[in-house]
Structure 1
């Protein structure tokens, strides 16, 4: 499963990033590789992926974004990698896997692939080697109490222990929150959607 944090400004969500130059450029990618078996006890994290990405069109992070995610400009300038590099590495991590998101993060990923290619950058791996799936409709149907929760608050909506140190709007924390929710529902007898894990 994976989660993205991408450039944002006050009101961007409500306006669907429609303002001039207000692109959803990836700033952070988090992902978990999960081992699954027949029982819920077999559902465990076997590998993590995390990357910071330097946005190109809006290289200066907005105060709104930093306040929301805790990701500051100095850290992105120091540790961030080029979008094509991060996306290529992430798609390599996903190769041959079912890749779940809580929402349509794969659309944002696709936008960023397109922008990188339009700049003449090479994306070394393909979407076609992984099966991306939005798990939100399934999860909200099985557990309606989660319908108003973002990915980083699923654990809280379900009354589960906090999955790791950190907080929502950190891509890796949000992945652990999604994993905790799915594991909890599987332990309660819910079957995963067709083609999922």
Structure 2
């Protein structure tokens, strides 16, 4: 095996989600009647041990309970109802594709998007059928490496580590790439790469 091919070996998957939201829903913690965190977009990137991206995954998802996206969410994410109608798939199909993309690689996210995935599996009655990868929350690692995460979103990780953001904020794939670029920058400055055991799969 050549050194160049070795550098292309997948080491981990970094991912991010976008999900249904309304003006004020974050402050209300999605507790108003009918408000659910239904996944609208999954974005992920496979990275090498140096956290260089080598493969990308992006999928729009059609919410089941609130199929029409709010104007707030359209403005925040630039994901339109027309795009979801044209390219969106059902959550089960999107989730199966994401899990297949991740395979047995460690899975990393900024925050607890795994809880959102589990909420969707339960919401749609899929939690006894589909499995959820164990996700490593990157936030403690960022704190250990001098990043103040207060008020941060996934899209802010790259800029916090000195890497300009590329793309549209609150786009799941662009945000996942920002997280990966932030990790890469910190590792290049001497940080120990985030440790992520091979995910244990559970119902």
Q: Equivalents in 2 of 1:148, 1:65: separation in Å? A: 19
Among 137, 142, 145, the alignment partner of 1:142 is: 145
Match of residue 4 from structure 1:
17
Number of aligned residues: 185
Partner-residue secondary structure (3-state), 1:91? helix
Which residue of 55, 70, 73 maps to 2:63? 55
CA RMSD, 1 decimal = 1.9
**Aligned-partner Cα distance in 2 for 1:168–1:196:** 29
Equivalent residue of 2:99, what SS? Answer: helix
SS at structure 2 position matched to 1:53: strand
TM-score by structure 2 length? Answer: 0.84
The residue that corresponds to 2:52 in the other structure is 44
TM-score by length of 1: 0.87
Instruction: Tell me the alpha carbon deviations over residues 111-147 of structure 1, each in whole angstroms, 9 at most, x when there is no partner.
Output: 11112226xx995x522xx431111121133123343
In 1, Cα distance between the equivalents of 2:184 and 2:74? Answer: 30
Is the CA contact (8 Å cut-off) linking 1:7 and 1:24 kept in structure 2?
A: yes
Runs of 4+ aligned residues of structure 1 deviating over 4 Å after TM superposition are none
1:73 equivalenced with 2:81 (yes/no): yes
Unpaired runs of 5+ residues, structure 1, are 37-41
Match 2:131 to one of 126, 139, 151: 126
Write 1 or 2 for the structure with the bigger share of helix: 1
- Kept in 1: contact 2:51–2:181 (CA 8 A): no
> Which residue pairs with 1:34 in the alignment?
47
Q: Distance in 1 between matches of 2:48 and 2:195?
A: 17
Consecutive unaligned residues of structure 2, counting only runs of 5 or more, are 1-13, 199-203
Residue 123 of structure 2 corresponds to 115
- Per-residue CA distance 1:50-103 (angstroms, 9 max, x = gap): 000000100010000001000111110111001111011111112201110101
Q: 1:20 aligns with which of 12, 20, 33?
A: 33
C-alpha separation between the residues in 1 aligned to 2:23 and 2:163? 30
The alpha-carbon deviation at position 150 of structure 1 amounts to 1.2
Per the TM alignment, residue 196 of structure 1 is displaced from its structure 2 partner at its CA by 5.3
Structure 2 Cα separation of the partners of residues 45 and 196 of structure 1: 19
Match of 1:187 in 2: 188
Match of 1:82 in 2: 90
